[in-house]
Every structure is written in C-alpha cells, then in structure tokens.
A and B are shown apart, each in its own frame.
Chain A
C-alpha cells in the first residue's frame, strides 16, 4: 500500500511545473539573438511580452511550494526538491528576463555586425545546450552531468570577455556598441543562472554542494 499519495502527487506536480517552466524558457531562448538583426521588430516585441507568462508560472511554483511546506512537513529529499524548485524557478524567471532584455535591445537598435552576431549566437547556443543538459541531468539522475554543465559556464564567460574587450566589434555609432555589449552581458547572465540551476539539481540528487574551485 502506498502512503501519502496526495502528497507524493503534489510534489510530482511541483516538479512538473518547474520542468514546464524550463521548457518555456528554453523555447524563448531559441533564436533570440537572431532577432537582433531582423528587419521586422514584431518578434522582438512578442519575445518581451512572453515574459509575463513566465512571471505568473514562477509565482505559482512558489505558492505551491509554500503550501507543501506548511501542510506536509517535508524532510530529506522532499525538502530538497521543494526548496530547489523555488530556487530553480527564480533562476528560470531571471533567464526569461534576460531573454526579454535582448528583445528590448532590438526594439531600440538593429545590430548588423556579422562577427559580433556570430559570437552572440554562439553564446546563445552554449546557454541553450547547458539548459537542455541540466534537464537531462535531472531526468537521468546524473549528478556528474550537473558538474559538467556547471563547468561549461566558463566558455560563455570567456566569450563575454572577448566581445567586450576586443575592438573588432566596435561600431562607429557608440550607442550600438553599447547595446551590443549589453546583449553579451545578458547572455553571460543567462549562463550564470543555468550554472545555478546545475548546482540546485546537483543538491537535489546528492544532498551536497558542487565542490569546484572557480
């Protein structure tokens, strides 16, 4: 006979909500940097508008997590799942904000520097892959994959340094240069948040913190 069926189901729903939110953020990230050079501004506006739904879902996750804590006195793995759900939802919400910020940049300027666009696109793809792999790490209960994802944030960081310090990306219009560098910053932040998620998933799986020297 299984005990606490409702509790177990509620906990599973919470996990599913977080995974759904992750899927939405992953979809939002696909092609986000491609919009920066697009003539049509509508997709950028839609990207910005899409953040509202993410905020709503994050709120729901927090609210369901709080209810589970106050009504079910969770312990052990259950506690880690609930606390990490709140934290992962926060990181996903911040990822979504940064994706919207890319849309905001396109609303202001169009970026045409091919060399720069290539780097930004690479950063986007690296972040996407990290997000995809951290999801797989949870599905497959693979703690070492979390550690890999955690490490791979460094690749995005070095691209960010490259984009912001090399003069080959400079434009005659300083405003455009500034906006381009903001885009790199947003993508670098997305990488940081996925790295956080990798830490949270690792904690759920092992009960421990990733031990790495940064």
Chain B
C-alpha cells in the first residue's frame, strides 16, 4: 500500500519546474485587479538577522489578501514594513522597494503620516484607548484637525456602522471602551482605523484573541469591508485564511514559498511545503 505522505511527495515533485517559475512572482497581473501594494526584491535585516529575503508580492485593490506561515517566518515583520512601523525598531535595515499605489513608501516625498493615514492597522489584541467609545473613533479625525462636532458625529457613526458595531454601541457612545467585550473592542479598533478613511487596512491576527462568534463577526466584516477597502491580514488560523481571503501568500523562514489565489493554495498548492503547512503537517 502506498504511504500517503510519500504519495504526495511524488505528485509534487513533478511540479517542481513550474514552482521555480512561480515562486516569488505573486498572483497574475490583470486589468481588473489593480495593485495597492507591490514589493520589489524587498529585504529586511534585524541587525545580522536576514528576516525578509527578496520579497516580490503584489496585493490588489478590493481584495482580502492573507499571509500565512509558521511563527517567526516574517509575516508580522512584513506587514509592519508596509506602513513603516518596523522602523520603530532601531536595528532594522531594509533594501528594495515597497510601492504603495506606485509610489515608493521609503521615498522622502511620502511622509510616514501620509502613509499611515492611507494604511490603517488593527492588531492581535484589541487596544482601545482608555477613553469613551466616541473618543476612540474620533481620535484620528481630531488629530487630522477636524473639530466640528457635526462632522465628527458623522464620521463616528459611519465608521461604527462600517465596523458592524453601531447597533450594539449607539446608546452608550460616551461609556468607556474598556467596558465592552473583547470582540466588541476589536471592532471598535477597526472602526477607529476606518475613521481616517484609509485605503488599505492591515490586520495582524485580528481574531486570535476572540471567541468564535466574535471571530465570525470580524470575518463577515472583512467580506463587507473589501468592497471599499483593501485588506491584508496575517493569520495563524488556516481555515480563516481559506474562508476570508482572495489570495494567500505562504511565508517560510523569511521568504515567500508560494503566493496564489486562495483556492489554489488550499486545494492544489504547487509546493510540497505549502501543502504540508496548510494541512497542518509542519509549522
């Protein structure tokens, strides 16, 4: 009887030549799928540690792009590079390009403030400010100089509606955000990210601290949000990547093993390492 693991290896080896061509290339370009982010031979070092190696990826507008990979493979580092948060670490050095809407984010023409206005971020643990729900969401617009109560009210309501939490909090906007459940806090954080009208939302394991129902709500939300925004989400939950994303990139030891439509990654990946990882056999 053929051993399943061996059988898979045999099948995969046949595709090695194809793989060499595809690795690092990302999904196919097409007219309908406009890129929001493109990286060209992007490399990143933490001191001597070469954490990201020759990353060539493309993330499209109005899509959910998932990044998966074992711990320490560089997923979070990569996402933090996209809005230059990684520069907060003093020993970081980068090479290559990251283009946001065809503009190099490391170019002096683009300020960090400009970039982060367009590229919002949601983190693993809900991190609302110790303020009221209203003030949490209004924080960004206020920093951007919006003072008029009427405009702020509109922005807060729209953001909370877009984050699918308006109905749950509309009667207690002045209560402290800490009084909400974890899932609600996370959606407040998403609303806070939406309030500055970003173009792209980066999510670093947005549901790993949430219960299953809250997770479902955030996943449904991603489906809704991609109509108006582009989302790049890092997740450890393989099924989540399979459910919510249009494309998936598999990172391993600092480089991209495979990047393709999510259907391909989860149904018929080209690389044996991808297959082993998505089926939970390593990582």
Contacts and interface: CB of A to CB of B under 8 A. Distances in A.
B146 interface: no
B268 A4 contact: no
Interface stretch (B6-14, B58-66, B176-184): B6-14
28 contacts: A3-B280, A3-B283, A4-B280, A8-B4, A8-B5, A8-B281, A11-B4, A12-B1, A12-B4, A16-B1, A73-B238, A74-B279, A75-B238, A75-B266, A75-B267, A75-B278, A76-B268, A77-B8, A77-B11, A77-B275, A79-B267, A138-B2, A139-B2, A141-B2, A141-B7, A141-B11, A207-B268, A208-B268
Contacts of A74: 279
B77 to A, nearest CB: 24
Interface in A112-133: none
A159 interface: no
Contacts of A15: 1-2, 4
Contacts of B278: 75-76
The 4 closest A-B pairs by CB, nearest first: A207-B268, A141-B10, A75-B266, A3-B281
A66 B238 CA distance: 20
B19 interface: no
Contacts of A16: 1
Nearest to A77: B8
Interface in B257-274: 266-269
Interface in B1-42: 1-5, 7-8, 10-11
Interface in A178-214: 205-208
A52 B275 CA distance: 38
B111 interface: no
Nearest to A139: B2
Interface residues of A, number: 26
B252 to A, nearest CB: 15
Contacts of A86: none
A133 to B, nearest CB: 15
Contacts of B239: 73
A104 interface: no
A163 interface: no
A81 interface: yes
A78 interface: yes
B6 to A, nearest CB: 9
B18 to A, nearest CB: 13
A49 B280 CA distance: 43
Contact of B242 (A11, A19, A75, A207): A75
B279 A76 contact: yes
Interface in A1-51: 2-4, 7-8, 11-12, 15-16, 19
Contacts of B268: 76-77, 207-208
A75 B278 CA distance: 7
Contact of A205 (B3, B11, B242, B283): B11
Interface string B71-93: 00000000000000000000000
Nearest to B264: A207
Q: Which of B3, B279, B282, B283 has the most CB of A within 10 A?
A: B279
Q: Which of A19, A75, A79, A80 has the most CB of B within 10 A?
A: A75
Nearest to A1: B282
A154 B266 CA distance: 35
Given A76-B266, A76-B269, A77-B8, A12 B279 contact: no
Contacts of A73: 238-239
Nearest to A141: B10
A139 B11 CA distance: 12
